[in-house]
Structure 1
Amino acid sequence: MGRGDLTNTEWARLEPHLPVSGQRGGRWTGHREAINGILFRVRTGIPWRDLPARFGSWKTVYERHRRWSADGTWDRILCAVQADADLAGRIDWSMVGVDSTSCRAHQHSAGARKRKPHVPKKGTTPRQHRPDEGLGRSRGGLTSKIHLAGEGGCRPLAFVITPGQWGDAPQMTAVLERIRIPRPQGGRPRTRPDHLGGDKAYSSRSNRRYLRRRRIKHTIPEPKDQRANRQRRGSRGGRPTSFDREIYKRRNEVERTINRLKNSRAVATRYDKRAYVFHGTVTTAAIRLWLRP
């Protein structure tokens, strides 16, 4: 077993959720070697062609990662691993934080060919395809942004990838809508945390209205300009927002989640041209965090 490869314990958790057959009905061969190659590339950020020979053909490893990113296999595996963790009581629902992080896009991630404007056939468009490829130009150059929700154990529950210049507040709803942890023993999937924490970027009337409608308690500070505007409007400005400083101290958990996720160099710097492949790369890094004890 090489450095960074799946341990026997991690493999035992992952193996039951892997697909048995491919798109054409043939059985997959040797998942463990290919997945170790994918994890090696995600952790180091090297070009696919430079994968060590011990992982087999680089093209086989890349194609498996690309296919599983396109058809949602990585998403289903992440969901299954999270369900196992929830069943074992390893998810801390008492506090879920939302935050975002920018990922500098390498020059090799630009220049993807535009897809044809005609309507594609059913099943030909990747699940996480974005027409803008999740790339945006800001003061720092080409960037992508990962908006995520992390639980108290510093592991990601759900995330959304957007161009780097997109704001945080409009993406909070999209991130929370992606939290869906199945319950293998029966019942509806869990979609709501006990408490939500976020910084001032998520303070908006629409976000607070959405959280109240879903009956999610939240701790989000109110910026000075919003407070002044509310006070200026008097009774029409609404009631003051509640804020608990002790609970807000736990916001560092989502920041630590981002740090753990960006320990993978292919996440900290985007090398993938297609948005759905980069989404699969981030998902793979998240799966590895959930597999660890």
Structure 2
Amino acid sequence: MLSRGDLTDAEWAVLEPLLPRGNNRCGRWRDDRQVINGIIHRLSTACQWRKLPERSGPWQTIHERHALWPVDRTRERLLQHVQAVADASGDIDWNINVDSTSIRAHQHAAGAPTAPPSAPLGASKGASQRSVHMRAHMRLRLFLAEAEPAGEALGRSRGGLTTKIHLSADGRCRPLSLVVTPGRRADCTQFEPVMDKIRVPRLGVGRPRRLPGSVGADKAYSNSLIRSYLRRRGIRHVIPEKNDSKAARWHRASDGGRPPGFDKTRYKARNTVERAINKIKQFRAVATRYDKRGYVFLGTVTVAALLIWLRS
């Protein structure tokens, strides 16, 4: 029986061909659709993994697969495929906007061990199943060593533990790229990583599209490094100039150079990224962070973005 928020047949038909296949030598492979529906239920309700409904199957399986899918980039591949389908049909507005949002972390999100556990993830029965879990665990250890060099994307500020989501959104309020950092990290420092993660493949022959038509951002991104980066890539940008930058340029007279161009009409469309943030925060497991691991929380946000694209 389908529950509210579960994948429809049309949505499942899009995702099914791209999911990795299980190894049946270790026993019956839990149905991926059932597992994804369990992840969606937890994403919408922010319940504990142990309190998932029985119709979702064993909570250990759902949590383990949710944690292991980043190893082979399954979630990124799903999101990029949905974006590629939209781009092939001309459904993406490439006048994008960039911004960030702070996420309050629950106290249960703190306290992650400094190193991955020494035992394999999940319960194992039999030599063959132990070997499969051990290989998956070793891949996870290597992934953690590369993906989490600077901690778990948790930062302590005046409001407590926070995580910041940096994202770019197309003109139809859908996330194109996502980066998570500690909450105290400045927005301007993550502009280039957010732009570099934009990668929409072609369904046919050709390189993935990485360059937008234009970029809009607020004054937090107004500095010379970002403007130089956009000029080098030939991207038209609409970023208002800070008051202190205007004053410094005015005091230097002719040596201060010309003011950067600014299109007021184009800047009004910057609200699309704010609306994309609002859509992401409709998922309770994103609005408040409960995941201890930073890469797991990034996966949670990616699943939310995937659902926004599927249902837009």
Q: TM above 0.5, one fold?
A: yes
Task: Give 1:99's aligned residue.
Answer: 99
- 1:203 to partner: Cα distance: 0.3
Between stretches 237-246 and 98-107, larger displacement belongs to: 237-246
Between stretches 14-23 and 168-177, larger displacement belongs to: 14-23
1:12-27 alignment, distance < 5 Å: 12-21=13-22
Task: Give 1:292's aligned residue.
Answer: 311
Contact 2:68–2:140, Cα closer than 8 Å, also in 1: no
Instruction: Find the aligned partners of 1:218 and 1:115 in 2 and give their Cα distance.
Output: 42
Task: Give 2:141's aligned residue.
Answer: 124
Deviations 1:232-266 (A, max 9, x none): 12233222011111111100000000000111111
1:128-143 alignment, distance < 5 Å: 128-143=147-162
Instruction: Find the aligned partners of 1:74 and 1:280 in 2 and give their Cα distance.
Output: 7
Deviations 1:10-63 (A, max 9, x none): 112221221123599988431111000001101111110000111011111111
Q: 1:152 to 1:160 in 2, by over 3 A?
A: same
Q: 1:270 to 1:147 in 2, by over 3 A?
A: same
Q: How many residues align?
A: 289
The one-letter amino acid of 2:113's match is R
Quick check: 1:108 aligned with 2:108? Answer: yes
Between stretches 24-33 and 216-225, larger displacement belongs to: 24-33
Deviations 1:114-133 (A, max 9, x none): 128xxxx7763326324321
Task: Give 2:196's aligned residue.
Answer: 177
For the residue of structure 2 that corresponds to 1:176, the secondary structure is: helix
* Alignment partner of 1:154 out of 167, 173, 178: 173
Show structure 2 runs of 5+ residues with no match: 117-137
* Alignment partner of 1:203 out of 202, 214, 222: 222
For the residue of structure 2 that corresponds to 1:193, the secondary structure is: coil
The one-letter amino acid of 1:215's match is G
Contact 1:130–1:276, Cα closer than 8 Å, also in 2: no
Task: Give 2:213's aligned residue.
Answer: 194
Instruction: Find the aligned partners of 2:30 and 2:260 in 1 and give their Cα distance.
Output: 56
For the residue of structure 1 that corresponds to 2:296, the secondary structure is: helix
1:32-43 alignment, distance < 5 Å: 32-43=33-44
For the residue of structure 2 that corresponds to 1:12, the secondary structure is: helix
Between stretches 149-158 and 62-71, larger displacement belongs to: 62-71
Q: Indicate the structure with greater helix content.
A: 2
Task: Give 2:282's aligned residue.
Answer: 263
- 1:210 to partner: Cα distance: 0.3
Instruction: Find the aligned partners of 2:104 and 2:171 in 1 and give their Cα distance.
Output: 27
1:227-238 alignment, distance < 5 Å: 227-238=246-257
Contact 2:43–2:286, Cα closer than 8 Å, also in 1: yes
For the residue of structure 2 that corresponds to 1:100, the secondary structure is: strand
- 1:146 to partner: Cα distance: 0.3
For the residue of structure 2 that corresponds to 1:124, the secondary structure is: helix
Q: 1:167 to 1:195 in 2, by over 3 A?
A: same
- 1:274 to partner: Cα distance: 0.5
Q: After the TM superposition, list the runs of 4 or more consecutive aligned residues in structure 1 that deviate by more than 4 angstroms.
A: 22-28
The one-letter amino acid of 2:141's match is T
Contact 2:71–2:139, Cα closer than 8 Å, also in 1: no
RMSD between superposed Cα atoms in Å: 2.0
The one-letter amino acid of 1:125's match is L
Deviations 1:78-130 (A, max 9, x none): 1122112211222111x1000000000000000111128xxxx7763326324
- 1:164 to partner: Cα distance: 0.1
For the residue of structure 2 that corresponds to 1:249, the secondary structure is: helix
Task: Give 1:69's aligned residue.
Answer: 70
Task: Give 1:225's aligned residue.
Answer: 244
Q: 1:55 to 1:219 in 2, by over 3 A?
A: same
Task: Give 1:55's aligned residue.
Answer: 56
Instruction: Find the aligned partners of 2:226 and 2:3 in 1 and give their Cα distance.
Output: 46
Deviations 1:190-231 (A, max 9, x none): 001101000000000000000000000010001111111122
Q: 1:242 to 1:27 in 2, by over 3 A?
A: farther
The one-letter amino acid of 1:156's match is P
The one-letter amino acid of 1:109's match is A
Between stretches 142-151 and 69-78, larger displacement belongs to: 69-78
Report % sequence identity.
55
Task: Give 2:120's aligned residue.
Answer: none
Q: 1:23 to 1:271 in 2, by over 3 A?
A: farther
Flag the structure with larger Rg: 2
